[in-house]
Structure 1
Amino acid sequence: MANFVKLVVPKTPLLISTTIKHYLNGPPKPSWNLKNHLAMIMLKSILENTESQTIEEMQIGSARPVPVLAGMMANEIKINNKYRYEAQAHLEKILKPYEHVLDTEWKDLKEDGIISEWVQVPNDEWEKREIRKTILYLHGGAYYLCSKGSHRNITCSFAKKANARVLIIDYRLAPQNQFPAGLQDALAAYLYLLNPPKDAGFEPLNPKNIVIFGDSAGGGLSMALALAIRDAGLPSCAGIIGWSPWVDLTVSMPSMLDEECCDYIPKPSKSFIHKESQVEIEYKEKAAALTAKIKKQNIGPKIWHDSFDRPEGRIQMYAPNEGLAIPYVSPMLAESLGGLPPLLLVAGDSERLRDEAIYLAHRSAEPAKYKGPSYNAGKFEKSPFQAPTNTTLEVYEEMPHVFQMFDHPCTTKSYERTVEFINKVTNAINEPLPPSSFSCINTKGEFGPLKEYHKEIQKWENIGIVPSIKRELKIKTTRRSPSELLVYTVLLFAVFAYLSPINL
């Protein structure tokens, strides 16, 4: 509570003025109540004033666990490093074409396992069921914030609503751990579920009982994991869910730059800064050294576009500029999104990541028609994965990034639809999954076709090309890149834990 007060009290004048404007002029979106409006304004203000905190402080603050919801239980476990080594063996094979742009430090394990958490309803008798529904949840936080404990509102809710057990992991975060460390941990967790140790307390799971689910960066990591499982020839899971998935780290889609976008993530032209710290200094030194090595050695094919070259340094903390087009970094840019398990992709119509979710959905449902960036021309034809992926896309009107944390009718509808998807793909209900669909859902929960401006995204010609963005420099500070605005999404969890807790 002390942290919440510290966060909110300085914003009191803003909250008062916003309340007055809400009743005099109305909210930014017709369906937003005062609580939604206040939360959005406060979050956006926080995101525009981050220069007083270091990366480490942000990481510590974002990792603080929220309480386990009433009537639920959470048990911490540690996944043995043997599963990381198994995952490494698979990743080394599929990452072979990209190894010349990657730092090998991801293979140097500094911990003795992956701290994880099982979330469940007490005495659920899950072990005795014929269908042991299991959700492998990958949290958001732009690959460098949050933790298994920060997302308990979501994991507890789905453990109960979907009558499933949820495994959420503390995968290694950037910038201390570069790609593919997080992917390695996610794959290790999946392998753990398929072949657990004898003392795990459960028998090996049927992969068709497992759904991989994530929000924001966790949604992108879920897609990356799906691609890795497919490409490594491992048993496929039942389905993949991405809430506002971050699948294009080149920030190339129109909604990222939309001046009219009504999201708490500010437009990319507004630079963000952190107080300089040892972690950031070390990360930047390593990043510069890796880029210099890549350019000097000139080993292997150039797998990046000229727009990725930036004299000011890294575009993202998660991966080098030269690696942004790797499909397991930016899944939207994969050679093919065919041959995957069923997908449920959810986005807000007012969020900056909307367009990449829409484009990814079309590329997966119709892989032969939508073939990715121009510099990948011809690669789809060589891919063995050309069969369409069953894809459900849902765009919710007036909703921002990861809107499911708001107290809003669209949140209720999205939870219902997500649970329904989980039950269908795991065969928990005797009802087949319908064909691929692309829907826009209004604030009353009514389904309709995509809007015309959604369809225009399918014609976008600058897929995977980093836009030119002019940003303002500040003295004695460290600038954050446009997409790293997403990292501050974590503050949403802290705010909404008090403003709009999820009701079971």
Structure 2
Amino acid sequence: MNDTYITIKHYLNGPPRPSWDLKFHLTWAMLKSALESSHTTTIEQAQKNFSLFGLTPADEVINEFKIKNEYRYEAQAHIDKILKPYEHVLDTEWKDLKDDGIISEWVQNPNDGWENREIRKTILYLHGGGYCTCSKESHRNVTCSLTKKTNARVLGKFKINLKRIQPLINYLVKISFIAINYRLAPQNQFPAALQDALAAYLYLLNPPKDAGFEPLNPKNIVIAGDSAGGALSLALGLAIRDSDLPPCAGIIGLSPWVDLTQSTPSVLNNECIDYVPNTVAGATFAESQVYSEYKEKAAALTAKIKNQNLGPKIWHDSFDRPNGRFQLYAPNEGLAIPYVSPMLAESLCNLPPLLLTIGDDERLRDETIYFAHRSSEPTKYKGPSYNAGKFEKSPFQTPTNTTLEIYEDMPHVFQFMEHACTEKSYERMAEFVDRVTNSLNESLPPSSYNYISAKGEISPSLKEYHKEVLKWEKIGILPSNAQN
């Protein structure tokens, strides 16, 4: 669909949702068209297209560096321990590092004085892209603009337009952001991305002597991400908890992809007007060398798991699919691993405070709702049926302080589009960061589930249809009509 067609349709028939202006409608249509045509693009081309180099303003300072592999090896030691029950369904290739470190960068204003502040608020941001696309370079012009307006450093991955986030600017002055290029699938399978994310966190806690800053207090660090990056942020929170490492101050998930089994109803709801296609799983690309190698390795691993009976079966019968892999990121047999699908974890307790933000018209809505209720009310909302009884045996029993926000009319990761909901969302994120880092010297409010109107008005209760997923009996079970 071209811009002219969408523009005519917008004014003749109205937008898909009443609060959308033309610019919002055009952006939505562009994203929808791009995602629906992914099968005509190779993985290599898609990764290149989403990793284009961004322009750097002349008055900004980019400090690009590498987080050395010593931090990956330290992360590997922790991940090896927590993945011990699942190692028989995973390829060990993630341990074979093919480079000498994680390409990263700080973006800052000259002489910002961040190193000398008492509370050095820092956000470690992990980008989305289905675990297989995007990079820090593709958003460098945005992070530079952000640091210019906020007098902050940037070490993170953003998908936002500065002109649309003035409320964030008003609150997030003098906050640092960190950006890393974590390894992408399908070339790098789970847990490669988790290893890189944990390595970045360990780097912030114990930087080398030449890093230019002293070790950060974890209570000054907020981990955040969107879509797959939102799920990776939550998986990182679980990994930190399970490794008995110092917890961060809080975690923000924007439209987090917490259930790679796509088991909740909203994923396949035909009434949903999200730009994400009606299946978030089984992404297909045009044939290429990378895609062929991936499918060959995936088939060999599945055969090895099932034919040699390497360990106990940890997957549900619905995960057995004759056409092969369901996801590019992890094998079917590993979809229920909590660091792959955080919603399916045995326990979501004892995590740092969470802020989970989703659009009311997005396909990942239901899984985020269920995740929020499981984390804050763990005895009432359990995991999948095949994990029955495991929560009671978990050492983590303290409910997690969780704030859920559902925004009216909004699609997946709406924060990069201009709208009243975008402004309200960034304002709420800024307030959350200030609270969890104790910048406001205020205690956190109790867990809450909020509905925010298209005008940005907050209601501290959900609609009845939001609660339907809480009665869903097929949590973590692959739908029979899901594609692969």
One-letter identity of the residue aligned with 1:136: L
* Aligned-partner Cα distance in 1 for 2:134–2:424: 25
* Aligned-partner Cα distance in 2 for 1:385–1:30: 44
User: Among 91, 97, 100, which residue is 1:112 paired with?
Assistant: 100
2:329 aligned with 1:318, yes or no? yes
User: Among 92, 95, 98, which residue is 2:83 paired with?
Assistant: 95
Structure 1 contact 212–222 (Cα < 8 Å) conserved: yes
> What TM-score results when the alignment is normalised by the length of structure 2?
0.92
Structure 2 contact 358–412 (Cα < 8 Å) conserved: yes
User: Among 278, 282, 292, which residue is 1:267 paired with?
Assistant: 278
One-letter identity of the residue aligned with 1:385: F
1:64 corresponds to which residue? 52
Identity fraction in percent:
71
CA, structure 1 residues 136+466, in 2 after alignment: closer, same or farther (shift >3 Å)?
same
User: Among 354, 369, 372, which residue is 2:380 paired with?
Assistant: 369
Q: Which range is displaced more, 160-169 or 387-396?
A: 160-169
Q: Which range is displaced more, 363-372 or 103-112?
A: 363-372
2:338 corresponds to which residue? 327
SS at match of 1:150: helix
Structure 2 runs not aligned, ≥5 long:
151-168
* Aligned-partner Cα distance in 2 for 1:363–1:146: 30
CA, structure 1 residues 245+154, in 2 after alignment: closer, same or farther (shift >3 Å)?
farther
Structure 2 contact 276–363 (Cα < 8 Å) conserved: yes
Aligned-residue offset at 1:37 = 1.1
2:181 corresponds to which residue? 170
> What TM-score results when the alignment is normalised by the length of structure 1?
0.89
2:19 corresponds to which residue? 31
1:133 corresponds to which residue? 121
* Aligned-partner Cα distance in 2 for 1:111–1:275: 27
Structure 2 contact 269–278 (Cα < 8 Å) conserved: yes
Aligned-residue offset at 1:86 = 0.4
* Aligned-partner Cα distance in 1 for 2:29–2:93: 40
Alpha carbon RMSD of aligned pairs, Å? 1.6
User: Among 134, 139, 158, which residue is 1:146 paired with?
Assistant: 134
Equivalence map 1:390-401=2 (5 Å): 390-401=401-412
2:188 aligned with 1:200, yes or no? no
* Aligned-partner Cα distance in 1 for 2:373–2:408: 19
Aligned-residue offset at 1:427 = 1.1
Structure 1 contact 65–147 (Cα < 8 Å) conserved: no
Aligned-residue offset at 1:433 = 1.4
User: Among 348, 360, 371, which residue is 1:337 paired with?
Assistant: 348
Aligned-residue offset at 1:181 = 0.5
1:53 corresponds to which residue? 41
* Aligned-partner Cα distance in 2 for 1:316–1:45: 21
Aligned-residue offset at 1:58 = 0.6
One-letter identity of the residue aligned with 1:239: G
2:411 aligned with 1:411, yes or no? no
1:308 corresponds to which residue? 319
Structure 2 contact 250–352 (Cα < 8 Å) conserved: yes
Aligned-residue offset at 1:17 = 2.1
Deviations 1:343-381 (A, max 9, x none): 000000001111111111111111121111000001101
2:42 aligned with 1:17, yes or no? no
User: Among 282, 305, 313, which residue is 1:294 paired with?
Assistant: 305
1:454 corresponds to which residue? 466
Structure 2 contact 122–222 (Cα < 8 Å) conserved: yes
2:73 aligned with 1:85, yes or no? yes
* Aligned-partner Cα distance in 2 for 1:158–1:360: 30
* Aligned-partner Cα distance in 1 for 2:57–2:392: 49
Deviations 1:46-69 (A, max 9, x none): 222234321001111111133346
CA, structure 1 residues 470+321, in 2 after alignment: closer, same or farther (shift >3 Å)?
closer
Deviations 1:285-319 (A, max 9, x none): 00000000000121222111000011101000100
Structure 2 contact 346–390 (Cα < 8 Å) conserved: yes
One-letter identity of the residue aligned with 1:224: A
2:232 aligned with 1:221, yes or no? yes
Deviations 1:155-202 (A, max 9, x none): 456652322111111001110110000000000010001010000001
Structure 2 contact 282–328 (Cα < 8 Å) conserved: no
One-letter identity of the residue aligned with 2:462: L
Structure 1 runs not aligned, ≥5 long:
1-10, 472-480, 482-504
SS at match of 1:440: strand
1:433 corresponds to which residue? 444
Aligned-residue offset at 1:70 = 7.9
User: Among 293, 298, 304, which residue is 1:282 paired with?
Assistant: 293
One-letter identity of the residue aligned with 2:6: T
Structure 1 contact 215–242 (Cα < 8 Å) conserved: yes
* Aligned-partner Cα distance in 2 for 1:137–1:117: 12
